[in-house]
């Protein structure tokens, strides 16, 4: 009867079994409780044996009531317990043989039922035992009997309410622990997914750009094997340098995956964008760069290249230019590319436009624009990509922060 509740839902809500007072403890607990109550019932019947000319009928009544009470007691866990508890209280009026079962019924009701129901059942059992004391006077004064009657039922009521509150608290704590564990697993999975996406974006942005430059240089050597030796040597040098840079990026990624430094590389800035343009020109692409500052008149010795936004905005602008040049090299080889980086008072505007076709034949769509759009939108900006009047245009607007 005092076992942990088995009928509570994860959120601590009481099920129908708990609301009707039919909590079912383990079978072993029921067997032990029945043996204990049977022993108490036998001791009660023997200690309250009547005397006088009506002793034999009362003994038979006590025995019959004791047997019926013990037979009804298992129904406290199998069916609706409130009617059973009231029946045991009524039997307690007839004989003390029902007292152990009736008091255990009060405890069971207080353990599993709402407090209002438990108080009513405890009051009924208290009144029944008071009537029993009037009809079957105990060995001590009636006043002490009534005082003990009220005290015992109050203790049973309080004990059951305490056990119910304790079980509710434990159930709530277990549910909270399960929710915390689920939240922790979700947070870990979100962190893993974010880290994978970050590494994938860095691999695409850094390695993808360098490898596309290598492919373009190698393609120029392949289609112009009759080029002057100095041009072939320059192309070979660019391939060597690009391969070394790509290898270094790969090493940084490997160090990150092995738990090394969280920084893949020094973050790029707007000052690094001319380097992207020069690298694209080195493989034969026609690229123009327009860097404009519209924030405020430049001070003495200060130009547009000295205006730098926050690192996150600068990285996003750099990646937009990098992705635009890579896409132009893949989908519009040989097309002229125009790059514009304009710093307004409240935003950085980056435009990469080419005058080639929308896509080269057989080119497969990539995921670079998807990741780039997510990067820009996380900063509160917008990214537009599509056909324009003279080719294909990639435009980003990133709030200055």
Q: Which CATH number fits domain 269-401: 3.30.565.10, 3.90.1150.30, 3.40.50.300, 3.90.1150.10?
A: 3.30.565.10
Q: What is the pLDDT along the chain (401 residues), one digit of tens a residue?
A: 444 444 444 334 444 444 434 456 667 766 777 778 778 777 777 776 666 566 677 778 878 888 888 888 888 776 568 888 999 999 988 888 888 888 888 988 998 889 899 999 999 999 998 998 888 888 778 888 899 989 999 999 999 999 999 989 999 999 999 998 888 888 888 877 776 776 676 666 666 666 776 676 676 666 667 777 776 677 677 777 767 767 767 776 666 666 655 555 567 888 888 988 888 887 778 889 998 887 765 555 555 555 678 888 888 898 899 888 888 878 888 788 999 999 888 899 999 998 877 554 444 445 678 878 888 888 889 999 888 777 888 999 999 86
**Residue 48 belongs to what H/E stretch?**
none
Distance CA 212, CA 199 (A): 19
Distance CA 74, CA 72 (A): 6
| Domain boundaries, given as residue ranges, for the chain | 16-183, 269-401
Residue 258, token pair as written in the block: 């092995």
Which residue spans within 27-107 are E strands per DSSP?
none
- The answer to whether the beta carbons of residues 216 and 205 sit under 8 Å apart is no
Distance CA 92, CA 128 (A): 6
Three-state secondary structure readout of 195-250: HHHHHHHHHHHHHHHHHHHHHHHHHHHHHCCCCCHHHHHHHHHHHHHHHHHHHHHH
Distance CA 385, CA 217 (A): 26
- The answer to whether the beta carbons of residues 48 and 145 sit under 8 Å apart is no
Distance CA 265, CA 246 (A): 12
Distance CA 285, CA 328 (A): 9
What is the distance between the terminal CA atoms of the chain, rounded to a whole angstrom?
A: 65
Distance CA 93, CA 111 (A): 23
Give 315-360 pLDDT, tens digit per residue: 889 889 988 888 887 888 878 899 999 988 889 999 999 887 755 4
Give pairs for 182-186: CB < 8 Å, separation 24+. Answer: none
Strands 337-343 and 287-293: parallel
């Amino acid at each position: 009867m005092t076992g942990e509740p088995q009928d509570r839902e994860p959120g601590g809500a009481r099920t129908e079994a708990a609301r009707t007072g039919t909590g079912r403890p383990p079978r072993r607990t029921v067997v032990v409780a029945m043996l204990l109550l049977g022993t108490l019932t036998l001791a009660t019947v023997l200690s309250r044996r009547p005397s006088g000319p009506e002793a034999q009928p009362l003994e038979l009544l006590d025995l019959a009531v004791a047997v019926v009470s013990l037979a009804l007691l298992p129904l406290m866990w199998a069916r609706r317990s409130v009617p059973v508890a009231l029946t045991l209280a009524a039997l307690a009026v007839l004989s003390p043989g029902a007292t152990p079962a009736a008091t255990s019924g009060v405890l069971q009701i207080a353990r599993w039922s709402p407090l209002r129901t438990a108080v009513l059942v405890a009051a009924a059992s208290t009144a029944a035992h008071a009537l029993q004391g009037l009809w079957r006077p105990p060995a001590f004064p009636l006043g002490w009997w009534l005082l003990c009657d009220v005290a015992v039922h109050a203790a049973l009521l309080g004990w059951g309410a305490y056990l119910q509150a304790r079980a509710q608290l434990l159930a709530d704590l277990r549910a909270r622990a399960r929710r915390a564990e689920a939240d922790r697993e979700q947070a870990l999975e979100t962190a893993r997914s974010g880290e994978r996406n970050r590494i994938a974006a860095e691999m695409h942005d850094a390695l993808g750009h360098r490898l596309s430059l290598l492919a373009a240089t190698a393609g120029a050597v392949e289609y112009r094997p009759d080029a002057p030796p100095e041009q072939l040597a320059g192309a070979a040098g660019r391939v060597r340098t690009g391969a070394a840079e790509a290898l270094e990026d790969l090493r940084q990624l490997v160090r990150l995956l092995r738990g090394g430094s969280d920084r893949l590389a020094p973050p790029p800035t707007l000052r690094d964008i001319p380097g992207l343009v020069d690298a694209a020109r080195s493989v034969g692409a026609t690229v123009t760069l327009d860097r404009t500052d519209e924030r405020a008149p430049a001070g003495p010795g200060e130009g547009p290249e000295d205006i730098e936004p926050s690192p996150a905005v600068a990285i996003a602008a750099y990646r937009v230019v990098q992705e635009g040049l890579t896409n132009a090299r893949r989908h519009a080889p040989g097309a002229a590319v125009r790059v514009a980086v304009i710093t307004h008072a409240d935003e950085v505007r980056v435009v990469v436009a080419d005058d080639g076709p929308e896509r080269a034949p057989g080119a497969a769509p990539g995921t670079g624009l998807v990741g780039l759009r997510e990067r820009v939108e996380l900063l509160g900006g917008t990214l537009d990509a599509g056909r324009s009047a003279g080719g294909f245009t990639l435009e980003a607007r990133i709030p200055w922060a």
